Structures are given as structure tokens and as C-alpha cells.
């Protein structure tokens, strides 16, 4: 799966789980772009875990600032299998 | 008018939270990261809940119809128990009851469930029945308020409010969303009944001094509620409830109390619907409450979970058992779908 494909799935999860409409720029601030409060943040992460069949570590989540930061984390988890 | 008596009734089966979480782990063996479910369940602060059915029977409920049948059967028995106990406490005979209000949001029945309860406890054939559906968690407070309106108009009359909420029978095992995961960890089963006596009837509990309903503006409909689907009741839940408390409830409570010459400092008993820990934290913060103010609400949530409309009545029962000093004021409050709030001002008698 390419980074662009991973980003497309992130957009799909943002739309289905958070009802996010409009573009989602990889350089955008993750919290601001998706209006993440505690419940929405967990909903996004669980949505991604379900869609990719992966499990994030707490360390993964600590480093997330921009939308695009999700991509390498997801790539690593997919590679781990 | 006064509160004559309050009683709760719970199913026999009481299950520790860890056991419920473990049962969900078995049902959700395909969940990619069950650690999140455990964390969300732990964050509810709930330690045990009563279940209408033995735990092993839930996976066998094939559809909404079967769950609803179980709700009707268990709910009728539990409702009867709660009404009998509340009437006993109020020292009022069933045939003295003039109006029976019933609220639930966890099952459907036509005729509504309280018809059978009225007959089985021995109420008169001319008892006025008022079933309420759709108010959700606010209905314990709103039902109490509407029943008190009734006895305000009919001071010789007695009204009973019955709440039956079997939340476990609304559980959607096919839905692993975060909102539903929280629901599987938060909500429990129980029933509660309150007896309200008109001003010309003898009763020993606090007076219902005033009530106020608050319906928030358009745009708040999606804060919480049910989305009805082929599998029954699907939970709509957002993180906006604490924000509604911080942004709105403070002013609404302040205005309600001020209309009676009171302020937050005059409230000796806070009887708050224990929706969840974050909602109660927000109430604490907005009103500047000490740790004791919501201790009964937090204990209720810990011991039996969120019982939807029955929860605030469970807290009221505990408050009547250990009331504020004579002359003390109580504020009963709940929030619910609409989005809305209901406030009930209570006062205990001065020492004679």
C-alpha cells in the first residue's frame, strides 16, 4: 500500500467516523483539522485500527501532530502484521 | 406537594465490571485492539452493574424483537417491585393512586408496560396512565416534574412516577464504534418509583417547590439520543455533553435558583443524574462544588452504572435516606436528548 493510498483511507475514516467533510491536507494540524476532542480522537484511532486491522501503541499516538504523521505509523504497523 | 416515597428495584444478577468486559472480549474476539475497550470501560468508573438476564443469555438474543420481549417480561416484574416498595415507604395504598406516569427508553410495548403494573399492584380502574417515551436520561427528573404539575393541579391526588430502564437489552453487539463501546461499559439495568402526594395529602418527604424545563436551540439534537435501526436502539453519543454543562447549565441553574431568591450556595443536596464521570466533573467545576456534593451520584454510577432515567431517582432515594438539615434545599437535575435539561427544586421542612 502506498502512502497516497494510506492517506486516502485516512480521509475515508475521517469521513465515516467523524463526519469530516471537505479536504484533509497532510500538513494540517491533526487536532484542528478534525476538531478532535477526547472522544473524537479515540473514534479516529479505533476507526483506523478497524479499517487497517492494526493496533497502535501508546507511543505511536504521542508523536501525532499533523495529519500526515499518521501515514508512517500506519505503514509500520501494517509491516509488523 | 411532597415526595411521599422513593424506591428502586434491581434484577438479581449483579456482575462486576471486569466480568462484563471479559464477556465482551469473548464476543469481540475480532477486535483489533481490545486494550481500547478495556480503557474505555475503566474510564466509566463503573464497578458493577445489574443485568435483567443472566449474562450467558445475551448472545442468544437474535434480534430486536427477542430483546424487546425480554424487556417487557423483566421490566413488568421489576416495575411492580419498585412501585410496591415506593408505596410502602409513602404509606399509601395502591388504590389511593390517581395517576401513574411511566417512563422508559429501553423498550417498547403497546399497551404500555405500566398498564400491567397498575393492575398487578391493585390500582383503581380509573387510574390515569401517562406513558412517556423519548426523554432518555432526563426523564427521571422530567417525569417527576410533570407528575408534580399534576398534583399541583389536583391537591387531593396521589401520582406515581415509574421508571424502568433495562439498558443491557439495547446493547448492540455488532457495533464496535467508540460510542457503543462506552455504552457497553456504562449503562446498567434498574427501575425506580416515586410517590408524589398533593398538598392536601399527608406525606413526610421534601416539598417540590418548583420545576423548570430547558430545551436547547436547534443544532443540539445530535448531542445524544437513539438512532433506531433494524437491530433496535443504536446509541448516538458525542463528547459535547460536558461542554453543554460548562456552556449552558450554569446560567440556567443560576436563573432558576435566582427566581426563588436562592443561589448555588443555598443548595444543600445536589441530586444530579450520574451520566458519566466527565459530566459530573463539569457540574463540579461549573458550580464550584466540593467533593461531597456529588458523592451520591458518583457512588450510584460506581455501584450500578448509568440507569438512564432511573439513575437520578436512585440518587434521590439515597438523599431521602440521609437528607440535608431541616429547612435545607435540594436541586434535582438531569440532562437528556433534545438536547435538554430539567431542574427540580426541593425543600425539606424546618424543624418543628
Q: Kindly report, residue by residue over B134-174, the tens digit of the pLDDT.
A: 999 999 999 999 999 999 999 999 999 999 999 999 999 88
Asked whether residue B344 carries a pLDDT value surpassing 90, the answer given is yes
CA quadruple B53, B57, B60, B65: dihedral, nearest 10: -10
pLDDT at A81: 64
**Dihedral sign of CA atoms A52, A58, A64, A69 in order:** negative
Across the interface, whether the CB atoms of A50 and B176 are under 8 A apart is answered yes
Distance CA A32, CA A47 (A): 18
Nearest CA in chain A to B237: A39
Q: How far is A23 from chain B (nearest CA, A)?
A: 23
DSSP string, B160-177: EEEEEEEGGGG--TT--S
pLDDT at A63: 85
DSSP assigned state of B332: E
Cβ B146 vs Cβ B130: under 8 Å: yes
Across the interface, whether the CB atoms of B178 and A38 are under 8 A apart is answered no
pLDDT tens-digit profile of A8-36? Answer: 999 999 998 888 988 999 999 999 999 99
Cα distances from A43 to residues A38, B109, B277, in angstroms, run 9, 34, 19
Which of B178, B179, B222 to mutate: most A Cβ within 10 Å? B178
Q: Does A78 touch chain B (CB under 8 A)?
A: no
Residue B165: CA count within 13 A, CB half-sphere: 34
Average pLDDT over residues B1-13: 97
Average pLDDT over residues B118-123: 98
pLDDT tens-digit profile of B181-240? Answer: 999 999 999 999 999 999 999 888 999 999 999 999 998 998 899 999 888 998 888 878
Distance CA B171, CA B232 (A): 9
Between A42, A52, A56, which is nearest B178 by CB? Answer: A42
Cβ B277 vs Cβ B301: under 8 Å: yes
Closest residue by Cα to residue B157 from B191, B133, B126, B131: B126
Q: Is A16 exposed, middle or buried (0-12, 13-18, 19+ CB in 10 A)?
A: exposed
B137 is catalytic: yes
Cα distances from B203 to residues A76, B186, B197, in angstroms, run 68, 35, 6
Across the interface, whether the CB atoms of B36 and A46 are under 8 A apart is answered yes
Across the interface, whether the CB atoms of B239 and A45 are under 8 A apart is answered no
pLDDT at B352: 63
Average pLDDT over residues B320-328: 95
Q: In B56-88, which positions are buried (b, 16+ CB within 10 angstroms) versus exposed (e)?
A: eebeebeebeebbebbbebbbbbbbbbbbbbbe
Q: How far is A15 from chain B (nearest CA, A)?
A: 14
pLDDT at B265: 95
Q: What is the mean pLDDT of chain B?
A: 95
Give me the residues paired with residue B136 across strands.
Answer: none
Average pLDDT over residues A35-40: 85
Kindly list the residues from chain B whose CB atom is less than 8 angstroms away from the CB atom of residue A40.
Answer: 239
Cβ B349 vs Cβ B327: under 8 Å: yes
pLDDT tens-digit profile of B95-110? Answer: 999 999 999 999 999 9
Q: Is B149 exposed, middle or buried (0-12, 13-18, 19+ CB in 10 A)?
A: middle
Kindly list the residues from chain A whose CB atom is less than 8 angstroms away from the CB atom of residue B238.
Answer: 39
pLDDT at B241: 86
Amino acid at each position: 500500500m502506498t502512502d497516497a493510498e494510506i492517506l486516502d483511507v485516512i480521509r475515508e475514516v475521517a469521513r465515516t467516523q467523524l463526519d469530516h467533510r471537505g479536504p484533509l491536507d497532510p500538513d494540517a494540524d491533526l487536532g484542528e483539522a478534525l476538531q478532535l476532542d477526547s472522544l473524537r480522537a479515540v473514534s479516529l484511532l479505533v476507526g483506523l485500527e478497524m479499517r487497517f486491522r492494526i493496533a497502535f501503541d501508546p507511543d505511536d499516538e504521542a508523536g501525532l501532530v499533523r495529519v500526515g504523521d499518521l501515514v508512517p505509523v500506519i505503514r509500520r504497523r501494517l509491516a509488523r502484521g | 406537594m411532597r415526595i411521599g416515597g422513593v424506591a428502586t428495584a434491581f434484577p438479581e444478577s449483579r456482575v462486576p465490571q471486569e466480568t462484563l468486559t471479559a464477556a465482551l472480549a469473548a464476543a469481540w474476539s475480532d477486535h483489533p485492539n481490545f486494550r481500547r475497550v478495556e480503557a474505555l470501560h475503566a474510564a466509566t468508573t463503573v464497578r458493577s452493574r445489574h443485568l435483567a438476564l443472566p449474562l450467558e443469555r445475551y448472545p442468544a438474543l437474535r434480534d430486536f424483537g427477542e430483546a424487546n420481549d425480554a424487556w417487557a417480561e423483566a421490566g413488568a416484574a421489576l416495575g411492580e417491585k419498585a412501585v410496591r416498595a415506593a408505596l410502602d415507604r409513602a404509606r399509601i395504598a395502591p388504590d389511593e393512586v390517581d395517576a401513574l406516569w411511566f417512563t422508559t427508553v429501553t423498550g417498547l410495548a403497546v399497551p404500555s408496560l405500566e398498564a400491567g403494573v397498575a393492575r398487578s399492584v391493585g390500582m383503581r380502574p380509573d387510574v390515569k396512565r401517562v406513558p412517556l417515551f423519548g426523554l432518555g436520561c432526563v426523564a427521571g427528573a422530567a417525569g417527576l416534574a410533570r407528575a408534580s404539575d399534576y398534583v399541583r393541579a389536583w391537591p387531593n391526588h396521589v401520582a406515581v412516577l415509574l421508571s424502568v430502564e433495562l439498558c443491557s437489552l439495547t446493547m448492540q453487539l455488532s457495533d464496535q464504534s467508540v460510542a457503543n463501546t462506552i455504552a457497553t461499559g456504562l449503562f446498567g439495568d434498574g427501575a425506580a418509583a416515586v410517590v408524589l402526594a398533593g398538598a392536601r395529602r399527608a406525606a413526610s418527604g421534601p416539598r417540590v417547590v418548583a420545576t423548570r424545563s430547558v430545551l436547547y436551540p436547534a443544532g443540539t439534537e445530535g448531542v445524544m439520543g437513539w438512532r433506531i435501526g433494524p437491530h433496535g436502539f443504536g446509541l448516538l453519543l458525542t463528547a459535547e455533553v460536558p461542554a453543554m454543562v460548562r456552556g449552558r447549565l450554569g446560567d440556567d441553574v443560576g436563573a432558576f435558583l435566582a427566581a426563588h431568591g436562592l443561589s448555588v450556595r443555598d443548595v444543600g443536596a445536589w441530586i444530579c443524574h450520574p451520566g458519566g464521570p466527565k459530566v459530573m466533573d463539569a457540574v463540579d467545576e461549573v458550580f464550584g462544588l466540593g467533593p461531597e456534593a456529588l458523592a451520591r451520584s458518583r457512588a450510584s454510577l460506581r455501584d450500578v452504572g448509568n440507569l438512564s432515567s432511573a439513575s437520578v431517582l436512585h440518587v434521590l432515594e439515597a438523599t431521602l435516606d440521609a437528607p440535608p438539615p431541616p429547612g435545607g434545599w435540594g436541586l434535582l437535575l438531569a440532562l437528556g436528548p433534545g438536547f435538554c435539561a430539567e431542574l427540580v427544586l426541593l425543600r425539606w421542612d424546618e424543624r418543628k
